[in-house]
Structure 1
Amino acid sequence: MSGIEIRLAEPTDMDFVTSLSPRLANVPGPAWHTIEAMEGFQDRYMSSTFAATALEGSRTLIAWSPDGRRLGYIHMRPGKDGVTDEPCGYVSLLALGKEAEGSGVARLLMAEAETWARGCGYRFLSLDVYADNKRAIDFYTSGGFKPETIRLVKPL
């Protein structure tokens, strides 16, 4: 897709952002969690992420098609490196509408996140992804991300 614009999200974009919650909840996740649990988690996470008290320095960007359709969004916020405790950038959410998958929109949004992180003076940009979400892992590793830790869980 050519001609895609990336803009700061406005309050009127929140309907679009929240409309993608079911897509985020349906990514391959741990087999021991039901879809209802994943949906509940995603709704709670999004509510806290976009609350009026959200972390200072956070930024949400929306990708727009040339004909004015919203295609996806990314939310970045300040974080801390797990080893050095130094400030770093953190991608807390990246979601696309189905029609934008495979179009390069996610790469454009990630490039904006890297620009944001560099502009903040961060040495790192981090994110979390479910271990079962191979498509996302492949996408992020192709963009230069490397695993740092692996959290193991044993259902009892």
Structure 2
Amino acid sequence: MPSDPARPQARITIRDADPSDTAFMHSLSPRLSGVPGPVWHTRAAMDGFQDRHMAATVDAGLAGARTLMALSEGGQRLGYIHLQPGKDGVTDEPCGYVAVLALVEEAEGQGVAAQLMAQAEAWARAQGYRFLSLDVFADNVRAIDVYTRGGFGAETIRMVKPLT
């Protein structure tokens, strides 16, 4: 992601996650399930979705996946990004997929997400992928803004109509 001179850039270290980071990654799940999501889903439903998503991605140990941890100058964990091989929805060619990006609240607005996304792009390029993709809830406008500033654009939009 290009750096925005109006936004502060935290001095961070990015390293591969290790087993000692697992509890920290799971501790951010309530932040992820608490982001603006579809109004027809309860918080309990969003919590369940997040638990299943973590099990299927971060905890699954998929071949070719990589999890990166962002640390402050003092070594405090600020957030992480989980990357894995995916498939492009149109061409079916292999691509990189950002399965999870999560930060502690104090790291928001400091450029940490941008630095993690830059590492994601470098990882995807090193794998020879033409695309890097991700999913975001349509109501999560803050995240959409971050991704749009980073060069992402909508490819498809899934629409849902509650029938109750």
Q: Report the TM-score, using the length of structure 1 for normalisation.
A: 0.97
Q: Which amino acid aligns with 1:59?
A: R
User: Retained in 1: the 8 A contact 2:96–2:124?
Assistant: yes
- Give the equivalent residue in structure 2 for 1:41: 49
Q: Which amino acid aligns with 2:143?
A: A
Measured against aligned partners, the alpha-carbon deviations of 1:46-74 in whole angstroms (never above 9, x if no partner) come to 022123x4321000000000101000000
User: Retained in 1: the 8 A contact 2:66–2:84?
Assistant: yes
Measured against aligned partners, the alpha-carbon deviations of 1:7-54 in whole angstroms (never above 9, x if no partner) come to 000000001000000000000000000001101110111022123x43
- 3-state SS in 2 of match to 1:12: helix
List structure 1 runs of 4+ shifted beyond 4 angstroms: none
- Give the equivalent residue in structure 2 for 1:152: 159
Matched, 1:85 2:92: yes
Identify which of 17, 33, 36 aligns with 1:9: 17
- Give the equivalent residue in structure 1 for 2:62: 55
Q: Report the TM-score, using the length of structure 2 for normalisation.
A: 0.92
- 3-state SS in 2 of match to 1:103: coil
Matched, 1:98 2:113: no
- Give the equivalent residue in structure 1 for 2:146: 139
User: Retained in 1: the 8 A contact 2:10–2:111?
Assistant: no
Gaps of 5+ in 1: none
- Once residues 147 and 83 of structure 1 are traced to their aligned partners in structure 2, the CA distance between those partners, rounded to angstroms, is 13
- Once residues 18 and 61 of structure 2 are traced to their aligned partners in structure 1, the CA distance between those partners, rounded to angstroms, is 14
Percent identity, aligned pairs only? 67
- Once residues 109 and 146 of structure 2 are traced to their aligned partners in structure 1, the CA distance between those partners, rounded to angstroms, is 10
- Once residues 134 and 48 of structure 1 are traced to their aligned partners in structure 2, the CA distance between those partners, rounded to angstroms, is 25
Gaps of 5+ in 2: 1-8
Deviation of 1:148 (Å): 0.2
